[in-house]
Structure 1
């Protein structure tokens, strides 16, 4: 069973490495606009057309609009697996693709819903590569197709096929977390309304997983061109976590340090100090969020991640940072090999905490 407090991908995939291009935003806006008029309308599965994908070689290799179109074409022309095969190959040699990998997988996920028509078939084709962005993109498309007028009625059933087969697994989490992203999309980044939509889910674990998607999308809205949020304050970096209801606080604090870092020039020491001001029962969660960012900001480099976590001034700060970091290592690689390397670099007490956390967390990937 996947713990409710799962640490997801570093928001923006290392804050400043990933920049969402305008074409990405325009595509999502187009989905939202069509959703308002179309309502819920899932077509049946289509077959790949076999058409050739957009060529983005040479000068166009760093043109995000071209790259986005290429991966849409690959899905529609050859299927999801071909798109992922090419993405994984490009990831090893192309820095532009590597730094934009997560949102490219969102693109693949959205295109998959268009091709396959529903959640079960789209999910059966999925891949966790680059922090599971495929599943998040798929759910964005699903929610956009349903639209704001019908989403309250249908929210509780969207992930039922996944929960029936793999309840509280990593795949189930990604489905419900993706709903949170999607709710923010169709509700125009109204955070409290989106959280209330998550509350329509009948299962507590699903509700909390959905909250995490809402809070992640709230932070993403601050950096993406063409979007904005009313629910972040540079002068109060832990807002809205300090004002939301208690049922939402854990998932809020688990995301919020990714925004807080942007307000202090990525100074981890200062964010540790900010976490000290959080309510007592959520301080450890805030420190774990710092650990996720320590891993994410270094592309899960063991040495750099350790250096960031060691900026914590006490055992509580450092140990929880390590917990957040080792989970992010596993999420990033889909493997525990690099996570163990990170753990072995630590002193005895932290090493044991790290190894035990990694062992338990990795079990959720073995479904």
Structure 2
């Protein structure tokens, strides 16, 4: 059975495993510390669209190795500096190259792509062309950033963002469903920025879009930004603007709501879980105080927003849960087991996405970590976690071959069958023709060829080209 168009695209955020950083700390030593090394800096260079990405990446890596402002800030500024010289495509190609070379850059690659997209935006007249110039790599972060830049531009001019703006933004990309989704998802990120990271206001702004698919895609971007705003505020639109030394700054129209500056401990002042009563028990008001996450309630805010937002919320929720519990997969699986039945599968798929991040995108380790959910959801937790994993691998590269390789490694016939079905469905969502979909499925384990073809909308009994 094929997924509905929107459910194909409920993708999650790759959250860096900050809680695990201590495990990588060097052992204590009685030896005298080595003298501090002199800071490195980027040497001025001229680049063009024809410059080899590997050469540019080596320049950025070497120049930022011991940058005084910090490696991450230096890398972002280096990539942004390329935009005027070499363009969006080349800058993203360099980011992709750096992500292969450097584990630290790989962990930040999606938000770095957001930052590039924000900086690449130049104005409404070139919006569609700039958006189309982004590649699908790094979980399509460039697309999302361009939309953020557009909304921040409108907000900075004091212009309202209503149905006309929302409907017009994605219309040029309607013919490509995967890109159409990325545009709607980027809306959620952008609306969070212009509404000062006040989630209820952003969700109600998403509701102004006429197209249901775009509305639901927008919800996912808003919930994702809600998590990022709390866990990694330097990766929000405002954080990127500060790193890049200006540019598109978000309107702080809800500064009194607490926003990203509220620490986990500060939430206690709101009264913990009992404070949720003020939100109306499933009907969140658009104005008033809002806390993004709650350490003491792992299902918040999903358990207080309107049910129509529930699927999108739970598709992000384990990023918050694992941030607070230090990456404990088994404990997070138990949390998902306690979610409402309608959203339980989505919560476990969210766990699969986050397992990918915590495993350093290692297939074997990811599979082992999903196995820790085996006691949850009457043994269905593993299958759903694996489903989230394969969707994440596919979304990172937009290449069905990555999913086929992963499905070959997962244990259990039930899990394999579901995995190959998801790959087939993904080929359909990319807008590929029947022959191309059949070609990708032909690489599947022959025992599960029918599952892949069924997901791809092809005759499951046939085996040749269409």
TM-score scaled to structure 2, two decimals?
0.66
Aligned to 1:4: 6
The match for 1:365 among 430, 433, 437 is 430
Q: Structure 1 CA distance, aligned partners of 2:173 and 2:19?
A: 33
Aligned to 1:112: 120
Give the count of matched residue pairs: 335
Q: Structure 2 CA distance, aligned partners of 1:140 and 1:248?
A: 21
Aligned to 1:25: none
Aligned to 1:281: 342
Q: Which moved more, 1:80-89 or 1:202-211?
A: 80-89
- Cα–Cα, structure 1 residues 84 and 223, in superposed 2: closer, same or farther, change >3 Å? same
- Cα–Cα, structure 1 residues 350 and 14, in superposed 2: closer, same or farther, change >3 Å? same
Q: Is the 8 A contact 1:11 1:219 kept in 2?
A: no
Q: Is the 8 A contact 1:184 1:214 kept in 2?
A: yes
Question: What do residues 320-349 of structure 1 show as CA deviations (whole Å, max 9, x unaligned)?
Answer: 111111100111232233322322221111
Deviation of 1:223 (Å): 1.7
Aligned to 1:259: 320
Deviation of 1:203 (Å): 1.1
Deviation of 1:81 (Å): 2.1
Question: What do residues 247-272 of structure 1 show as CA deviations (whole Å, max 9, x unaligned)?
Answer: 10000001101110112111110011
Aligned to 2:412: 347
Q: Which moved more, 1:269-278 or 1:90-99?
A: 90-99
Q: Structure 1 CA distance, aligned partners of 2:232 and 2:64?
A: 26
* Partner SS state of residue 67, structure 2: helix
Aligned to 1:152: 162
Q: CA RMSD in A?
A: 2.7
Q: Which moved more, 1:211-220 or 1:49-58?
A: 49-58
Q: Structure 1 CA distance, aligned partners of 2:115 and 2:420?
A: 34
Structure 2 unaligned spans of 5+: 22-45, 235-259, 263-290, 433-466
Matches within 5 A, 1:173-188: 173-188=181-196
- Cα–Cα, structure 1 residues 286 and 309, in superposed 2: closer, same or farther, change >3 Å? same
Q: After TM superposition, what 4+ stretches of structure 1 lie above 4 angstroms from structure 2?
A: 13-18, 48-55
Aligned to 1:334: 398
- Cα–Cα, structure 1 residues 302 and 316, in superposed 2: closer, same or farther, change >3 Å? same
* Partner SS state of residue 196, structure 2: coil
Asked whether 1:221 is paired with 2:229, we answer yes
Q: Is the 8 A contact 1:76 1:115 kept in 2?
A: no
Question: What do residues 161-201 of structure 1 show as CA deviations (whole Å, max 9, x unaligned)?
Answer: 222x32xx111111110010011101011111110000001
Q: Which moved more, 1:288-297 or 1:264-273?
A: 288-297
Q: Structure 2 CA distance, aligned partners of 1:330 and 1:13?
A: 19
Structure 1 unaligned spans of 5+: 19-47
Higher RCO (C-alpha 8 Å, min separation 6): 1
Aligned to 1:323: 387
Question: What do residues 80-133 of structure 1 show as CA deviations (whole Å, max 9, x unaligned)?
Answer: 122123223322223333232112211221222128853211122110111111
Q: Is the 8 A contact 1:323 1:357 kept in 2?
A: yes
- Cα–Cα, structure 1 residues 15 and 325, in superposed 2: closer, same or farther, change >3 Å? farther
Matches within 5 A, 1:1-367: 3-5=5-7, 6-14=9-17, 56-60=63-67, 63-114=71-122, 117-147=125-155, 149-153=159-163, 154-163=165-174, 165-166=175-176, 169-225=177-233, 227-228=260-261, 230-312=291-373, 313=375, 314-345=378-409, 346-366=411-431
Q: Structure 2 CA distance, aligned partners of 1:205 and 1:90?
A: 34
- Cα–Cα, structure 1 residues 82 and 341, in superposed 2: closer, same or farther, change >3 Å? closer
- Cα–Cα, structure 1 residues 335 and 49, in superposed 2: closer, same or farther, change >3 Å? closer
Q: Structure 1 CA distance, aligned partners of 2:103 and 2:363?
A: 20
